Structure 1
Amino acid sequence: MGVLSAGLFWERRDVPGCEHVRLDAQNGLYARGTVLAAEPVEFACHYEIQTDPSWATVRLDVRSEGAGWARGVRLELAAGRWRVTTSEQGDLDAALVDAGHARAGLPGIEDPDLLYGVFDVDLSGSPLTNTLPIRRRALLTGEVGVSHRVSVAWVLVPSLEVVQADQIYTPLGENRVRFASETFAADLTVDDDGFVTDYPGLARMITLGRGSS
């Protein structure tokens, strides 16, 4: 795809960092973005997401990199099953241990069949990926207070380990959606297109001439 007409930018609240994405949302979503963060180690994460017209994810391609290491993971949905391919260079574990953190899991997932029935991806630290179930389930026009459980492929950044996770989204009305997992909950504020403008404790959107989506 050529030049993308819409852009979004978030400033991180939890750690020094930001996210910038260019996208087209006319017929599902196609997006290319970059996440920059200083924790748990300094890294850049570049991603590409494509959904079908119903906003179900069909492909996610991610690469994270820092001083002395780089990792990649690609998730592709084909015939109802996820195919996962990975790459790794250098030593992320050494960088994490030097920074006082635990070692990372391996990129990808050992058994891709654990992702059977997954229609959404969740890139940790990225407000963009919260939009996927919001749009796919049409939560902004759904009944207020009715919860929707979704199964996601949760991609941990910067390790790019992939985990199947269950999440709950509940429309609250007035462009607010409650997001919850087993150990966490936050009330997200979104715009009329379902993109997160405020994620308490994580990020807030900065409007810099978004363009048309």
Structure 2
Amino acid sequence: MPISLFWTRTDTTGSDHCLVDDHAGLTARGVAQAVDPVPHTCQYEVLTDESWTTVRLEVTTEGAGWQRTVRLERAGDRWRVTTGEQGDLDAALRAAGRPPVGLPGTDDPDRLAEALDVDLGGAPLFNTLPVRRLGLLDAAPDTERGLTVAWVLVPSLVVVPAEQVYTTLGGGRVRFASDTFRADLDLDERGFVRDYPGLARRAG
């Protein structure tokens, strides 16, 4: 992998390091760690085609007494979702005073049919996917694009459809909005996040 990206979380104690090849679409693998809502490690691998449309995402999250996996794979115009679980994340959450989250994955993959992108909770790399796929690096300021993503929550690995909007601001900045949340992202010349206010900042 020719690129190494490292982010320090600013919303909690944690970090994210990934290795990336972006010469023909994206191939990347990374490891993220955070202490909230319970201490956990998240390992991920993502692959897109040359148009930056996501083809596959594999994620494993693990903490004391539990492990979860999810695999999303594009099959024609549908997503195939495969999951695994060992131990009991909900028990760990209850012990930490947090509500349970239920099973990983989704009981209705058809809800994800419109999604061409995936978004992994807490991982700044995944904002690059729609930025590159939609050509927002070269778009005029105030260009706005709405999309549906397959959003993978961490550490639960529950998968839900989410509506997102990206708006170019100029100067390497893009506004990201989803529901009532918004953040102005600072990107480098290849579209990778340097600063995600309220979430993470890149080192180096």
Q: TM-score range by the shorter chain?
A: over 0.9
* CA distance in 2: counterparts of 1:91 and 1:140, whole angstroms: 42
1:18 maps to: 15
Q: Which has the higher contact order (CA 8 A, sep 6+)?
A: 1
Aligned AA for 1:40?
P
Deviations 1:83-117 (A, max 9, x none): 00000000000110111111013100110011112
* CA distance in 1: counterparts of 2:132 and 2:143, whole angstroms: 15
1:27 maps to: 24
Task: Name the TM-score, length of structure 2 as normaliser.
Answer: 0.99
1:153 to 144, 150, 155: 150
* CA distance in 1: counterparts of 2:77 and 2:140, whole angstroms: 29
Q: Percent identity?
A: 58
Task: Name the TM-score, length of structure 1 as normaliser.
Answer: 0.95
1:88 to 85, 90, 103: 85
Whether 1:77 aligns to 2:74 is: yes
Aligned length: 204
1:66 to 63, 74, 81: 63
1:211 maps to: none
CA RMSD of aligned residues (A): 0.6
Aligned AA for 2:99?
A
* CA distance in 2: counterparts of 1:95 and 1:78, whole angstroms: 34
Gaps (5+ residues) in structure 1?
208-213
Whether 1:116 aligns to 2:113 is: yes
Aligned AA for 1:156?
L
Deviations 1:148-190 (A, max 9, x none): 0010000000000000000000000000000001120000000
* CA distance in 2: counterparts of 1:54 and 1:105, whole angstroms: 34
2:203 to 200, 206, 212: 206
Q: Secondary structure at the match of 2:170?
A: coil
Whether 1:5 aligns to 2:10 is: no
Deviations 1:24-72 (A, max 9, x none): 1100000000110001000000000000001010000000000000000
Aligned AA for 2:139?
G
> Greater share of strand residues, 1 or 2?
2
* CA distance in 1: counterparts of 2:102 and 2:5, whole angstroms: 30
